[in-house]
């Protein structure tokens, strides 16, 4: 992702003073969101990542951080210069969180808290106020476990605790603005936005709390009918949710691929209708999905004939 690789972004990540001149402390916050509910998680269903089923954290958390800064100013009795982020700038969020004592960076590259798991958002407040630092989290509790590495359908989690974003389902369904590589489409399964697999298999998430109610599930699982959403209907339905990040054409692209992977014949009419969509990307992925379903239908009939 070029916005992370840019030279200016690297310099800002290395020096907080370039983000907030006079910065003396960075307050790192973790806000739990509800873990996957199990609804819409079947192999023949379409699903979206748990974090995206409620309100957009980009809208919720900045308001809270602003209120927290106001509280700190009241306690300090003086105005304080500050800047805050929540996945909105080139900040090494997980590294800062580990240094602030919030957990360790696991093999799946997620920050994991030993009593909270990994279903939480990170946010940071840069302050020109000196605060006593918390001790860093220095132990690693992944041990010999490799569940996340084994479970990843696209093999994007590498043994050295790095992640090949070009193969990550979350990247492919959210950040990628072009066509999903053909060789990876079949590995995406039913995921129409994001992915929770490496967190769902993590043993530490058995401790995950219920999560902040602001992020309670309010969206139904994706459905074939989503392919009929007009731009206006898409904006109305997903307003103030993370799904707007993929934009209509990206989301419909994802839904088409997910439908092709489920092999549901009942989705063929909406997929065929999507061949007339104004977006070439939607048309291309709908055609791919139709071919996948047709192939599965023929294979099923062939198996029946052989029997």
Instruction: Give the C-alpha separation, 210 to 260, whole Å.
Output: 33
Residues 276 and 179: their CA atoms lie apart, in Å, by 17
**Please, what is the end-to-end C-alpha distance for the chain in angstroms?**
50
Catalytic residue from among 15, 56, 59, 87: 87
Buried residues in 22-60 as b, exposed as e (16+ CB within 10 A): ebebbbbbbbbbbbbeeebeeeebbbbbbbbbbbbbbeb
Sign of the alpha-carbon dihedral angle for 34, 184, 202, 42: positive
> Residue 107 to residues 150, 154, 162, 163: CA-CA distances in angstroms?
11, 15, 8, 9
* Closest among 225, 218, 214 to 192, alpha carbons compared: 225
Q: How many residues does the chain have?
A: 307
87 is catalytic: yes
Query: How many Cβ atoms from other residues are within 10 Å of residue 298's Cβ?
Result: 10
Which is it for strands 47-48 and 191-193: parallel, antiparallel or unpaired? parallel
Which residues participate in catalysis according to the annotation?
87
């Amino acid at each position: 992702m070029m916005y992370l690789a840019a030279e200016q972004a690297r310099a800002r990540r290395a020096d907080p003073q370039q983000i907030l001149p006079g910065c003396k402390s960075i307050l790192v916050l973790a806000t739990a969101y509800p873990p996957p509910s199990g609804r819409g998680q079947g192999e023949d269903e379409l699903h979206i990542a748990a974090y995206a089923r409620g309100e957009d954290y980009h809208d919720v958390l900045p308001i809270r951080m602003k209120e927290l800064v106001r509280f700190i100013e009241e306690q300090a009795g003086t105005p304080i210069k500050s800047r805050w982020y929540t996945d909105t700038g080139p900040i090494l969020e997980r590294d800062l969180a580990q240094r602030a004592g919030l957990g360790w960076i696991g093999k799946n590259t997620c920050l994991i808290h030993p009593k909270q798991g990994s279903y939480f958002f990170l946010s940071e407040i840069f302050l020109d106020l000196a605060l006593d630092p918390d001790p860093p989290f220095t132990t690693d509790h992944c041990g010999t476990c490799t569940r996340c590495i084994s479970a990843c359908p696209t093999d994007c989690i590498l043994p050295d605790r790095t992640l090949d974003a070009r193969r990550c389902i979350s990247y492919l369904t959210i950040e990628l603005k072009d066509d999903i590589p053909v060789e990876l489409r079949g590995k995406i399964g039913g995921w129409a936005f994001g992915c929770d697999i490496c967190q769902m298999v993590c043993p530490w998430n058995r401790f995950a709390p219920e999560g902040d109610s602001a992020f309670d599930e309010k969206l139904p699982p994706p459905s074939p009918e989503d392919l009929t959403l007009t731009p206006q209907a898409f904006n109305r339905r997903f307003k103030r949710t993370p799904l707007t990040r993929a934009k209509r054409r990206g989301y419909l692209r994802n839904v088409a691929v997910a439908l092709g992977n489920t092999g549901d014949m009942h989705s063929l009419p909406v997929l065929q209708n999507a061949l007339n969509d104004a977006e070439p990307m939607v048309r291309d992925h709908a055609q791919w999905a139709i071919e996948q379903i047709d192939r599965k239908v023929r294979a099923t009939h062939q198996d029946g004939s052989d029997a």
